[in-house]
Amino acid sequence: MKNNSSKSLYDRIPYIVALTTYFSYAIVICFGHLKDFIGKLFRREKFLVPKGYARLLSDFEDFYTRRLYSRIRDCWSRPVCSAPGAYIDVMLRDVINYGEELRINGKIKRCLNLGSYNYLGYADVPGGVDDQVLRALDKYGIASCGTPNDTGYTDVHARLESLVAEFLHQPAALVMGMGFATNAQIIPCLVGPGCLIFSDELNHASIVVGARASGAKIKIFRHNNARDLERQLRLCIAEGQPRTHRPWKKILIIVEGIYSMEGEICPLEEIIRVKQKYKCYLFLDEAHSIGALGATGRGVPEYWNISHSEVDILMGTFTKSFGAVGGYIAGSRELIDHIRNGSPGCLYSSSMSSVCAQHILFALEQVMGKDKTNIGREKIVRLRENSIMFRRRLIELGIQVYGDPGSPVIPIMLYPPAKIAAFSRECLARGLAVVVVGFPATPLLLSRARICLSAAHTKEDLEYALHVIEQVAELIQIKYNSKKMIEMQLEEEEQILKAAEERRQKNTTSNNVNGQVTKVEENTRFQSFLPSCHQVLHGKTTEMLDIQWLPNHMEYHHNRPRLAIDSSY
């Protein structure tokens, strides 16, 4: 698999496109400042601040929102009035005063949906939701009205956690009510001051929030670049902690399975090699890859034919492939017990609705084949076929796409800011709902449209989408690739797909073809990483544990205080 970096994407931009993109932003920014200057002269009441107060909104983000984003804000936050299935009903709005107000006009447009995270098509189940979900609604009600450690934990949650652990070949798992919070509230439970986090430069905002909240030292390595990770890791181990130069208590590497803005797949083999060499822990966020990658939907480890036991902490969400809400963490029992009794997400946040948990159970059982049908397996195969076909056809059209073949996320590069709005509006006018992304969610030059494919899409749906995108691409001139670039990219795609198919066949041969899960022995890797639940709850005082490990022929002694938790929780 190729090792993409952000630099390689910049290298694909034609010079004239880069120049016009910078020029476009410069013009809009200059006119924005000019309008602000004139407004302060002739419309002072709009810029007045109460006496004694500082201006609340005065930074660049406020300027960007007023003078740039507001001009094209109709391309985002479009209200819908249907389930986010293969098709979606979009409520149209009138733009008032150049984007200062968006007013719903009562019109509804039926659109082919290429914007929702609905990889396996469970967001809109044919024939309605499963009867078990309706029975869960009658029995448990809509909300749990309690935290998982109080009254919010039901037998549905217990069955779901057991099934997630079985699906990922792990001893234990826990589920949470919000995907974003799964990262933001659990990472601080794993590392803290004196620890070191290595985070991919394109990791999701939830990982950024969690890492910052932990108090650990954070180092950023180049996107999907194991060499840069190893280089920085060696340097940090040699130098130790800032000022004291003591050894790090723990080192945690955090990566994603599929990067949602790039559609790239993590080079897990290379990351694990570095992790094992330097005795670090690995946190894998599979929000977009679980259910979407691998022959049985078990994510990036299965995609690379790697045992799930090679990853220390497995995280994912139910919002993409399973059409629900929430997230999960899977790993050793000691790890899960520690998180359950120490994470704010378990102690203070309401648990996932039992209705949603039952829907996830229904979807996951189908994916695992426990319903005695091939529906789940057919969805995985259809999603892969749709992703490969759609991506290849876009490349053949001369449209510049990013990411890896087989990923259900396919970014279409737009670049100039005017083309962000043009692409979104023209697609909507032709009955195609897409998501466009620009600065600050992406670098200034790298604006794009993010296509999300689904197993619910038929071949006819995708043919229509390709027809519309080709029309719009001709209209706004985003066919940036030359014939030579098209040929080179198609050849590269074929090589990646061939290697992936070889791994898939090898995995099918070596693993249980019948889907039987071998008994997973209790994972003791975390005995040196986290205190057991029993020790934490029954220990009145904080303990110290000495751990020795020998990375790169250098001896380190890790002195880590145990976490003391009030038993009242």
CA 8 – CA 5 distance, rounded (Å):
5
pLDDT-based confidence at residue 530 (cuts at 50, 70, 90): very low
* Global pTM value: 0.85
How many CA atoms lie within 13 Å of 61's alpha carbon, on the beta-carbon side?
Answer: 4
Cβ atoms < 10 Å from Cβ of 108: 15
- pLDDT of 231-280, one tens digit each? 999 999 999 999 999 999 999 999 999 999 999 999 999 999 999 999 99
- Contact status, residue 310 vs residue 281, Cβ threshold 8 Å: no
Residues 6+ apart with CB under 8 A from 158: none
Cα(547)–Cα(247) distance, integer angstroms: 12
Q: Which tokens sit at 12?
A: 């694909």
Please, what are the domains in the chain?
15-74 (no CATH), 131-367 (3.40.640.10)
Q: What percent of the chain has pLDDT over 70?
A: 87
Per-residue pLDDT at 535: 36
pLDDT band per the 50, 70, 90 thresholds, residue 532? very low
pLDDT-based confidence at residue 557 (cuts at 50, 70, 90): very low
Q: Among residues 263, 500, 288, which one has the least CA distance to residue 404? A: 263
What is the Cα 242 distance to its own chain's centre? 31
Average pLDDT over residues 49-66: 81
Between CA 497 and CA 505 the distance in angstroms is: 12
Q: Which of 88, 91, 92 is closest to 124 using CA atoms?
A: 88
Contacts of 383 (CB under 8 A, 6+ apart): 119, 120, 292, 408, 453, 454, 455
**Encoding tokens for residue 552?**
């790169």
Would you give the distance in Å from CA 213 to the centre of its chain?
Answer: 19
Separation between Cα atoms, residue 334 and residue 527, nearest integer Å? 7
Report the C-alpha gap between 227 and 448 in whole angstroms. Answer: 28
| Sign of the alpha-carbon torsion through 412, 418, 424, 425 | negative
Which of 326, 304, 342, 282 is CA-nearest to residue 502? 304
